[in-house]
Amino acid sequence: MTEPAPRMNVESFNLDHRTVAAPYLRIADRKELPGGDVLTKFDVRFTQPNLSHLDSETVHSLEHLMAELLRDHTADVLDVSPMGCRTGFYVLLFGDHTAEGFAPVLEAGLRDLLEAAEVPAANEVQCGWGAHHSLEGAQRAAREFLAQRDQWEQVTAG
């Protein structure tokens, strides 16, 4: 009998990526700060881990667009960060949020993304790699994610 893997400090390292079924939206972490404020971190998974990933320009453009457009729907967005594996994003919110409560915000922001004419801040002044973007790729990924909206709550296969 094999020993269970030791618990890791990073929450996603404890997630069995073989059992998840992207696309999905889940709470990856919730922290209560010493003053009582709460932070909620969401795992917004676009593609199936270890089977597919978003290309680099698409990830970069999704990051810019989501960071800008999600804030039009809630003031609680603190950060939108791409996953290094390029399968999704972490979205950090101020406050105690649920996946059910955040899903409409995410959906509204992604629908706005589909209407975008350009990637915000995709230039040398505002971005460290301003030429490394794909609005078309970001819109395609958002369209595919939104088309599976009814599956966002199901994190694991089965």
Q: Where are the domains of the chain?
A: 11-151
Residue 76, pLDDT > 90, answer yes
**Best CA proximity match to 26, nearest among 4, 9, 49:** 49
Asked which of 1-15, 19-33, 46-60, 123-137 is least confident by mean pLDDT, the reply is 1-15
pLDDT at 154: 95
Gap between the terminal Cα atoms of the chain: 25
What confidence tens digit (pLDDT) does each residue in 17-46 have? 999 999 999 999 999 999 999 999 999 999
- 3-state class percentages of the chain: helix first, strand second, coil last, to nearest 5: 35, 20, 45
Confidence of residue 1 (pLDDT cuts 50, 70, 90): low
d(CA 13, CA 115): 35
DSSP state of 90: E
Q: Match domain 11-151 to its CATH number in 3.40.50.150, 2.60.120.460, 3.30.1360.80, 3.40.50.720.
A: 3.30.1360.80
pLDDT at 2: 67
